[in-house]
């Protein structure tokens, strides 16, 4: 029973852009239903990371689902990947109402009791982000939230890249 609650990871070289595309594809019906404009800024050639495909896909699905949930009809969702010196920087941005600044430090906690007046709007968000943080931590990366009321929310994830690796891709535009 020692391993109860322990999550197993299967690390291998992973193309993050493909996982993001797969996660976005899983949400396409809601995107179309809400008539959300999706802007993808993903370079043709990105380094690989050492990661667990299934866990990273779960994480991106949570981040994209949350962004879609808070994006109003005819709003905009932006997904951007940058290759930085040691990391891949993934940003998921919505055009929703934003998160109150006082809540941001608590968003990665497993459970956080928020006031009844805002509970309905943000309920469940923190537990999904808690799981995302656990996945990012297991990959030796970092995650943070930037948000302004009325200006949407950006979730930033940095994952260490495999040095010297690059994956060429053809993107349909």
The helix/strand/coil state of 11 is coil
Alpha carbon separation from 162 to 36, 46, 83, 170 (Å, rounded): 33, 10, 11, 21
The pLDDT value recorded for residue 104 is 85
**87 beta partners:** 160
With bands split at pLDDT 50, 70 and 90, how would you rate the model's confidence at 169?
Answer: very low
CA 126 to chain centre: 13
Residue 16 CA, chain-centre distance (Å), reads 11
Rounded CA separation 156/39 (Å): 16
Count Cβ atoms within 10 A of the Cβ of residue 135 and give its class: 0-12 exposed, 13-18 middle, 19 or more buried.
buried
pLDDT, tens digit, 9 for 90 and up, residues 145-157: 999 999 999 999 9
Helix runs in the chain, H state only: 16-25, 28-33, 53-70, 116-122, 125-138
Res 120: pLDDT: 43
164 pLDDT tier (thresholds 50, 70, 90): low
pLDDT of residue 129: 87
pTM of the prediction?
Answer: 0.84
pLDDT(119) > 50 = no
CA angle 140, 143, 148 (to 5 degrees): 170
Please measure the distance between the N-terminal and C-terminal CA atoms of the chain and give it in whole angstroms. Answer: 51
């Amino acid at each position: 029973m020692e391993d109860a609650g322990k999550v197993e990871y299967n690390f291998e070289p992973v193309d993050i852009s493909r996982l993001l595309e797969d996660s976005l594809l899983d949400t396409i019906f809601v995107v179309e239903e809400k008539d959300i404009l999706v802007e993808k800024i993903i370079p043709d050639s990105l380094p690989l990371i050492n990661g667990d495909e299934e866990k990273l896909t779960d994480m991106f699905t949570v981040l994209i689902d949350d962004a879609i949930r808070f994006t109003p009809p005819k709003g905009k969702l932006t997904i951007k990947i940058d290759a930085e010196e040691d990391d891949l920087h993934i940003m998921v941005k919505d055009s929703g109402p934003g998160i109150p600044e006082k809540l941001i430090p608590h968003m990665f906690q497993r459970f956080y009791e928020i006031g009844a007046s805002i509970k309905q709007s943000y309920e469940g968000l923190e537990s999904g982000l808690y799981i995302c943080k656990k996945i990012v931590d297991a990959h030796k990366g970092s995650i943070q939230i930037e948000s302004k009321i009325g200006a949407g929310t950006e979730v930033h994830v940095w994952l260490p890249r495999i040095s010297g690796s690059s994956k060429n891709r053809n993107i349909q535009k």
